Amino acid sequence: MTLEARPDGWWKSAVVYQIYPRSFMDSNGDGIGDIPGITSRLDYLHDLGVDVLWLSPVYRSPMDDNGYDISDYEDVDPLFGSLVDLDDLIDGCHRRGMKLVMDLVVNHTSDEHPWFQESRDPASPKRDWYWWRPAREGHEAATPGAEPNNWASVFSGPAWEHDPKSGEYFLHVFSKKQPDLNWENPEVRQAVYAMMRRWVERGVDGFRMDVINLISKDPALPDGVVAEGQTYASSEKSVLNGPRLHEFLQEMNREVGLSDRHLLTVGEMPGSTVELARDVTDPARRELNMVFTFEHVGLDEQPGRGKWALAPLELPRLKRNLETWQRGLAETGWNSLYLDNHDQPRAVSRFGDDSPEHRVASAKTLATVLHLHRGTPYVYQGEELGMTNTGFTEIDDYRDIESVNYHADAISLGLEVEVVLESLSVKSRDNARTPMHWDDSEHAGFTAGKPWLPATANKDEINVAAAVADPDSVFHHFRRLIELRHREPTVVEGRFELLLPEDPQIWAFTRTHGDDVLLVLANCSSDDARVDAADIPDLTGAEVLLATHADGEDLQLAPWESRLYRLSSESRSRG
**Shortest Å distance, C-beta 183 to ligand NOJ:** 15
Does 406 sit near ligand NOJ (CB under 6 A)? no
**Shortest Å distance, C-beta 268 to ligand NOJ:** 6
Helix (H) or strand (E) holding 336, with range, is strand 336-337
**Start-to-end Cα distance in the chain:** 46
**Shortest Å distance, C-beta 210 to ligand NOJ:** 5
| DSSP-derived secondary structure for 154-208 | TTSSBSEEEETTTTEEEE-SS-TTSPBB-TTSHHHHHHHHHHHHHHHHHT--EEE
- Count of beta carbons in the 10 Å neighbourhood of residue 134: 13
- Contacts by 245-248, CB closer than 8 A, 24 or more apart: 245/213, 245/215, 245/216, 245/280, 246/279, 246/280, 246/285, 246/287, 247/216, 248/183, 248/189, 248/215, 248/216
Q: Are strands 562-566 and 516-523 parallel, antiparallel or unpaired?
A: antiparallel
Contacts to ligand NOJ from residues 487-506, by CB under 6 A: none
Nearer to ligand NOJ, 252 or 546 (CB): 252
Does 266 sit near ligand NOJ (CB under 6 A)? no
Compose the 167-206 pattern: x for residues touching ligand NOJ by CB under 6 A, - for all others.
-------x--------------------------------
Contacts to ligand NOJ from residues 56-95, by CB under 6 A: 65, 68
Nearer to ligand NOJ, 214 or 361 (CB): 214
Q: What is the Rg, in whole angstroms, of the alpha carbon atoms belonging to the chain? A: 24
> Is 161:408 a contact under the CB 8 Å cutoff?
no
Residue 296: partners with Cβ closer than 8 Å, 6 or more residues away: 318, 321, 322
Could you give the residue numbers annotated as active site?
210, 268
Nearer to ligand NOJ, 64 or 561 (CB): 64
Nearer to ligand NOJ, 155 or 232 (CB): 155
Does 343 sit near ligand NOJ (CB under 6 A)? yes
Name the closest residue to ligand NOJ (Cβ): 68
Of the candidates 345, 200, 213, the residue with the CA atom closest to the CA atom of residue 268: 213
Compose the 199-238 pattern: x for residues touching ligand NOJ by CB under 6 A, - for all others.
-----------xx---------------------------
**Shortest Å distance, C-beta 291 to ligand NOJ:** 13
Nearer to ligand NOJ, 147 or 343 (CB): 343
**Shortest Å distance, C-beta 153 to ligand NOJ:** 11
Alpha carbon distance 389, 426 (integer Å): 8
**Shortest Å distance, C-beta 276 to ligand NOJ:** 18
> Is 498:323 a contact under the CB 8 Å cutoff?
yes
Instruction: Kindly list the residues in this chain that would bind ligand NOJ in the complex (CB under 6 A).
Output: 65, 68, 105, 174, 210-211, 268, 342-343
